[in-house]
């Protein structure tokens, strides 16, 4: 009898513990959550909304915070113009005309002029930096690297990580790569107008030229015929014609054949390469020669990202004078 009473007391304690543990979760909670989930799946994903549609949106604070994040001093009026695209101006004008305003006044200009100016600044600064940091690389390949660093996809990538997507004022949403890239160009022009050429150059150097960090520069060069390019380079520099020579081979007439080819100019070894046949080995050897002649070896000295505008001023002057001669 005593054992039976002890068991009943233990069972009551367990029931009280279970009730205390689950007393805050009602029976209707789980069915309600399942029904809400079913309705949400039936309606599909929610439409993406711009950040400006939120109740806590403060555009002036966003403009101020953007400059502080980059540690740059922008003129707020010019920076706001850099983020305002023509499509937004046209959209707001149509809205005001629709409500009866005959001559709408928005108080802000679009960024077309800033985009054109920023495009020129980015091209000039990037090319001057590359000519200074890679002095042995021919100009035609400097142009290839510059095009890769200033492509629309690359500019849009940098612009999105700077946090411009939520601040751009445009009729289009979601924001595409074209708008992101053009906004970055306008920001560069706005910085030049606000803080001068020195700060603008450092901005372009850090965010655009900095994409070369820990990258193989030779990957940016589009060389379809390495041996032909090597012959042209040697001819322009007054060097003897390059001559490919077989240095060694193993496993001939087998599936694991390997050939080593060296390229000589005036009996001096310029580079070597390996391949499964002699044609591939000659091509790899030509690429190795170009790497060494261009100063883009795998063990090359890292690109100097401490260059300033004064270090690159000579190439900027040459580029400006070349444009003047072309116009004349």
Q: What per-residue confidence (pLDDT) applies to 3?
A: 42
Specify the residue for token string 């279970």. 18
Mean pLDDT of 202-229: 92
Between the ranges 46-55, 123-132, 210-219, where is the mean pLDDT highest? 123-132
Mean pLDDT of 1-17: 50
Q: Which residue has the higher pLDDT, 21 or 96?
A: 96
Q: What per-residue confidence (pLDDT) applies to 12?
A: 59
Using CA atoms of 45, 47, 52, 55 in order, give the dihedral in degrees to the nearest 10.
Answer: -60
Task: Cite the DSSP H helix spans in 23-70.
Answer: 29-43, 59-69
Q: What pTM did the predictor assign?
A: 0.80
Q: What per-residue confidence (pLDDT) applies to 153?
A: 95
pLDDT tens per residue, range 99-158? 887 777 777 889 999 999 999 999 999 999 999 999 999 999 999 999 999 999 999 999
For 121, counting Cβ atoms within 10 Å of its Cβ (0-12 exposed, 13-18 middle, 19+ buried), the class is buried
Q: What per-residue confidence (pLDDT) applies to 56?
A: 79
Q: What per-residue confidence (pLDDT) applies to 299?
A: 87
Q: How many Å apart are CA 134 and CA 143, to the nearest integer?
A: 12
Cα 289 to chain centroid distance, Å, stands at: 30
Q: What per-residue confidence (pLDDT) applies to 281?
A: 95
Where residue 98 falls among pLDDT bands split at 50, 70, 90?
Answer: confident
Percentage with pLDDT > 70 across the chain: 90
Mean pLDDT of 154-177: 92
Query: For residues 186 and 115, is the Cβ–Cβ distance under 8 A?
Result: yes
Chain mean pLDDT for the chain: 87
Q: What per-residue confidence (pLDDT) applies to 4?
A: 43
Q: What per-residue confidence (pLDDT) applies to 27?
A: 87
Q: How many Å apart are CA 116 and CA 112, to the nearest integer?
A: 6
Q: How many Å apart are CA 183 and CA 84, to the nearest integer?
A: 9
Which uninterrupted H or E stretch holds 16? helix 2-22
Cα 223 to chain centroid distance, Å, stands at: 23
Whether residue 327 is predicted with pLDDT greater than 50 in this model: the reply is no
Rounded to the nearest 10 degrees, the angle between the axes of helix 177-195 and helix 112-133 is: 80
Q: Which residue has the higher pLDDT, 261 or 252?
A: 261
Sheet containing 268-275: which strands, arranged edge to edge?
A: 243-250, 258-265, 268-275
Q: How many Å apart are CA 318 and CA 207, to the nearest integer?
A: 24
Between the ranges 24-28, 123-127, 172-176, 211-215, where is the mean pLDDT highest? 123-127
Domains defined along the chain, listed by start? 59-218 (1.10.1520.10), 225-294 (3.30.160.20)
Q: What per-residue confidence (pLDDT) applies to 319?
A: 59
Mean pLDDT of 37-43: 91
């Amino acid at each position: 009898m005593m054992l039976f009473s002890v068991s009943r007391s233990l069972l009551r304690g367990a029931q009280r513990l279970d009730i205390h543990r689950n007393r805050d979760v009602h029976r209707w909670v789980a069915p309600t959550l399942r029904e809400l989930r079913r309705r949400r799946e039936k309606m599909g994903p929610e439409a993406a909304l711009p950040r400006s549609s939120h109740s806590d949106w403060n555009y002036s604070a966003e403009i101020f915070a953007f400059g502080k994040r980059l540690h740059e001093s922008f003129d707020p009026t010019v920076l706001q113009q850099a983020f305002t695209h023509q499509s937004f101006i046209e959209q707001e004008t149509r809205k005001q005309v629709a409500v009866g305003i005959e001559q709408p006044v928005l108080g802000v200009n679009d960024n077309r002029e800033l985009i054109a100016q920023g495009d020129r600044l980015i091209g000039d600064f990037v090319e001057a930096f590359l000519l200074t940091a890679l002095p042995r690389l021919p100009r035609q390949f400097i142009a290839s690297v510059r095009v890769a660093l200033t492509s629309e996809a690359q500019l849009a990538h940098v612009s999105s990580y700077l946090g411009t997507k939520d601040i751009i004022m445009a009729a289009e949403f979601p924001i595409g790569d074209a708008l992101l890239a053009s906004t970055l160009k306008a920001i560069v022009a706005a910085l030049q107008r606000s803080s001068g050429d020195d700060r603008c150059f450092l901005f372009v150097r850090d965010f655009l030229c900095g994409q070369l960090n820990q990258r193989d520069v030779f990957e940016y060069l589009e060389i379809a015929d390495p041996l032909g390019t090597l012959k042209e380079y040697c001819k322009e520099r007054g060097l003897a014609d390059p001559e490919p020579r077989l240095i060694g081979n193993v496993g001939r007439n087998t599936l694991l054949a390997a050939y080593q080819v060296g390229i000589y100019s005036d009996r001096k070894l310029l580079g070597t390469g390996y391949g499964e046949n002699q044609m591939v080995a000659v091509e790899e050897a030509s690429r190795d020669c170009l790497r060494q002649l261009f100063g883009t070896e795998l063990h090359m000295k890292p690109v100097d990202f401490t260059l300033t505008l004064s270090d690159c001023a000579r190439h900027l002057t040459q580029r400006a004078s070349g444009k003047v001669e072309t116009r004349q």
